[in-house]
Amino acid sequence: MSINKLLTSLYVNKHGVYYLRFRVSNKLSRFFKKEYISKSLFTKEKKIAKVKAMVYRSKYIELLQVSEWIDDKTLQLKVNEYMKDTLKVDCPDIEQEQPKQNDFTLKDAIVLYNKWYIKQGVAEKQYKMIQKRLDVAISYFGENKILKDLSTDDIEEYIDFLNTYPNPNKRPYKTMTFKQIVRLKNVPQQDFISPSTVIKYIKAFQQLENFLVDDGKLDRKISKRAKLPNVKDASRSPFTEDDLKTLYNKFNKMGDLGLLYYTFAYSGMRTSEFWKSKIGYEDGIYFFDLSYEGVELKTNSSKRKIPIHSKLIEKGIVYKLEELQEVYKQGYISEIFNRKLINLIKDSKNKVMYSFRHTVATHLKRADVDIDKISEILGHRYENTSMTKTVYTNGYSLKQLKEAIDCL
């Protein structure tokens, strides 16, 4: 707003002190509970008065602009903050209830974001494209996913998922639902979306995330910790032998928490899968069971049985799994690793906790383990598209997979 327009709101009282007075817009009157805003500027100097008035009015204009797209609870909160922090006046008659971040879901976020985004004057084609990319995110995480529960490794797993997601603009995927697509087996690699398109999906999610942080719905940018890939490097790097030696020395001093990290290093599980796994025992072999009825995983290929590495059995994971699942939360163990433990290694570029999956895959390949055995251990689609996998009926036996994983 220009200085000239502000001058129409400036007045002088009988003592020669300037004050600001302007009418509250009809859009905001029910939140301010008043028709006019009056504020003493505590100065008799016109130049100082104009500067103070500019601050008060510009912040009011910001409220007027965001009122077009934010929800009523958030708007009320912002009005309260304006009254208290900017105008320095009490507002006891205004409801002080804060919008709850604890139960704000991804669906709530998408609805709010779309409402704002469409008002930015973007082309309809661009709007629909962003909407489609966000639809994949909401289908992957689930529309009822609580935002505050999203972790670094959730984002890493989403990136990993996108790397094998078929191009939805190609046939036959064009006419399929998300659920139908993720149930597919043996999708040809040439049908996967390109690395540059993966980046575009992630950037769409980042834009949503930035919006939510600015709007107060998120207190942090989750993707920032995930070290999102760039166009030149759309993958995570595996840990080197020196990295593992350093990390294992630290794990040995961490008690049960160290055992938890060892589990990722010797199973290749996705981070979220640890808290969904159970201990199974068949044919004399202990395994992490991710195939039981009712387990909710991201893809059909993710349902599997992972034989437990001999080292983990020696360390007692068979008897401690349930306790570890109860004591430690995913967000905590991810944050400790990605913000602290990762600094122990010399070259941490493109390495996060999720890199253990890439490390397992790399080491098994170097040990000449069949690529499809690796795929079954990690819960990927089979690389050998001539094979048809049904979960543990026509797949490899536990004995075969146990021999493979013990190559680590």
Query: What is the rounded distance in angstroms from the CA atom of residue 301 to the CA atom of residue 374?
Result: 12
pLDDT band at 11 (very low <50, low <70, confident <90, very high): confident
Question: Which tokens sit at 405?
Answer: 């994983």
pLDDT band at 228 (very low <50, low <70, confident <90, very high): low
Is there a cis peptide before residue 172, judged by omega within 30 degrees of 0? yes
Domains of the chain listed by start with CATH number: 3-86 (no CATH), 106-225 (no CATH), 241-405 (1.10.443)
Q: 308 with 324: CB under 8 angstroms? A: no
What local confidence, expressed as pLDDT, does residue 145 receive?
A: 84
Question: Which tokens sit at 299?
Answer: 């893809």
Q: Tell me the β-bridge partners of 280.
A: 287
- Please state, for a pLDDT cut of 90, what percent of the chain lies above it: 22
178-216 pLDDT tens trace: 888 888 877 777 778 877 788 888 888 888 888 888 777
22-37 pLDDT tens trace: 888 877 877 887 777 8
Residue among 263, 298, 284 at smallest CA distance from 397: 284
Residue among 249, 257, 158 at smallest CA distance from 198: 158
Q: 274 with 331: CB under 8 angstroms? A: no
Phi, psi (deg, nearest 5) at residue 41: -95, -5
Q: 60 with 37: CB under 8 angstroms? A: yes
Query: What is the rounded distance in angstroms from the CA atom of residue 193 to the CA atom of residue 191?
Result: 6
Dmax over Cα atoms in the chain, in whole Å? 95
pLDDT band at 244 (very low <50, low <70, confident <90, very high): very high
pLDDT band at 149 (very low <50, low <70, confident <90, very high): confident
Question: Which tokens sit at 36?
Answer: 């006019």
Query: What is the rounded distance in angstroms from the CA atom of residue 49 to the CA atom of residue 57?
Result: 12
Query: What order of strands is seen across the sheet that includes strand 10-12?
Result: 10-12, 18-23, 36-40
- List, as one string, the DSSP characters of 353-374: TTHHHHHHHHHHHHTT--HHHH
Q: 344 with 247: CB under 8 angstroms? A: yes
Q: Tell me the β-bridge partners of 305.
A: 289
- b/e map 67-103, b = 16+ CB within 10 Å: bebbeeebbbbbbbebbeeebeeebeebeeeebeeee
Tokens 């599997």 correspond to what residue?
304
Question: Which tokens sit at 67?
Answer: 């009122």
Tell the burial category of 218 from Cβ atoms under 10 Å away from its Cβ (0-12, 13-18, 19+).
buried
Instruction: Indicate the pTM of the whole model.
Output: 0.51
Residue 248: strand, helix, or coil: helix
Q: Tell me the β-bridge partners of 11.
A: 19
In this predicted structure, the answer to whether residue 385 has a pLDDT above a threshold of 60 is: no
Q: Tell me the β-bridge partners of 348.
A: none
Residue 19: strand, helix, or coil: strand
Tell me the pLDDT of the chain averaged across its residues. Answer: 81
Q: How far is CA 360 from CA 247, 272, 364, 388, 400, in A?
A: 15, 17, 6, 23, 16
309-352 pLDDT tens trace: 999 999 999 999 999 999 888 878 888 888 789 999 988 877 88
